[in-house]
């Protein structure tokens, strides 16, 4: 970590850890649990050092049973604590689907509002680290499909640092999807960075010719594509969704109303992914604003390959996003 005049340079891993440390230090009801979060320091080293700082009551290693420790987190939340449950990678969340979808998401509704489940699930997600097909899924859209859950995808260091605090005061379950490929990426963070709002998309770069909508791991290639296009005289506006449920349609629609062209970028497979939902809402609410067909850039619809060159070929790239934008502007 380095610092200059109010700005620090940190990795995403360090930004997430700062959010965890602040949560544990400021609220005694908060505790962290999951596989290897304690003595090992987390599968991706996000919780490194927190066991020594806060002790075994607050940083708890669990057995290798996602259904058990997610269920325990739900019970703890119902009992008045504020559990943060880490699931090692998103594919392991499939082993706790019953707990997440059939219990955490429904209890407030089924109890007539008598019981809330203020549970936070931290879920590393996405490709980019040669982890093979079973550990490279982008399944945020599956969970964003479910009413009763809030689903967020931090793509900046400030959001990585600040989303957890807002998630912990939400009465409903919040799923924070952390991009595995970003953990080691360095970026700037204000020395006084703190909580950020979970609601609403953010325009990360203003533009006039085409709107590029991204989230999580696709924000970086979207911004890189915007820089490439700017050198050619094409002005791209980049929108970071930040949250997939609830989805901020208004910011996307406002952007499209200015540029009249849309490119949607998604690490998930195109069929039924979050990008498809964005396109559907624009088609429903702002079709007459479009001057060109919508362009979609997504993962190739195959299990994510292990070899690096094939993995990279299967994923959205800045050059693909730029090419889609060129097609949109004609």
The set of catalytic residues is 66, 135
Using the structure block, give the residue that is written with the tokens 């009763």. Answer: 148
Q: CA angle at residue 117 from 56 to 19, to 5 degrees?
A: 50
Q: Which of helix, strand or coil describes residue 85? A: strand
H or E stretch including 76? helix 66-78
Neighbours of 146 (CB within 10 A): 18
Q: Which of helix, strand or coil describes residue 72? A: helix
H or E stretch including 177? strand 174-179
* 247, 241 contact by CB (below 8 A): yes
Neighbours of 211 (CB within 10 A): 29
d(CA 300, CA 312): 10
- Number of Cα atoms under 13 Å in the Cβ half of residue 310: 11
d(CA 268, CA 57): 37
């Amino acid at each position: 970590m380095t610092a200059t005049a109010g700005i620090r340079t940190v990795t995403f891993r360090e930004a997430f850890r700062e959010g965890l440390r602040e949560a544990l230090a400021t609220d005694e009801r908060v505790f962290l649990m999951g596989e290897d979060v304690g003595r090992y320091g987390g599968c991706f080293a996000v919780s490194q050092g927190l066991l020594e700082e806060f002790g075994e009551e607050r940083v708890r290693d669990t057995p290798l049973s996602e259904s058990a420790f997610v269920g325990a987190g739900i019970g703890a939340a119902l009992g008045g604590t504020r559990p943060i449950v880490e699931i090692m990678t998103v594919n392991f969340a499939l082993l706790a689907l019953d707990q997440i979808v059939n219990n955490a998401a429904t209890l407030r509704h089924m109890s007539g509002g008598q019981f809330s489940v203020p549970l936070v699930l931290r879920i590393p997600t996405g490709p980019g680290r040669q982890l093979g097909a079973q550990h490279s899924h982008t399944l945020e859209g599956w969970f964003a499909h479910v009413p009763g859950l809030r689903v967020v995808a931090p793509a900046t260091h400030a959001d990585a640092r600040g989303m957890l605090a807002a998630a912990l005061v939400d009465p409903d379950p919040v799923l924070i999807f952390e991009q595995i490929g970003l953990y080691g990426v360095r970026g700037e963070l204000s020395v006084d960075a703190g909580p950020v709002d979970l609601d609403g998309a953010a325009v990360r770069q203003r533009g006039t010719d085409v709107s590029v909508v991204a989230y999580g791991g696709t924000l970086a290639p979207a911004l890189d594509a915007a820089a490439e296009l700017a050198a050619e005289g094409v002005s791209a506006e980049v929108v970071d969704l930040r949250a997939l449920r609830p989805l901020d349609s208004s910011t996307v629609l406002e952007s499209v109303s200015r540029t009249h062209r849309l490119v949607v970028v998604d690490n998930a497979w195109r069929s039924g992914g979050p990008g498809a939902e964005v396109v559907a809402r624009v088609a429903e609410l702002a079709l007459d604003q479009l001057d060109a067909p919508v362009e979609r850039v997504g993962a190739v619809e195959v299990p994510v390959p292990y070899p690096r060159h094939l993995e990279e070929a299967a994923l959205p790239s800045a050059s693909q996003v730029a090419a889609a934008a060129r097609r949109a502007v004609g």
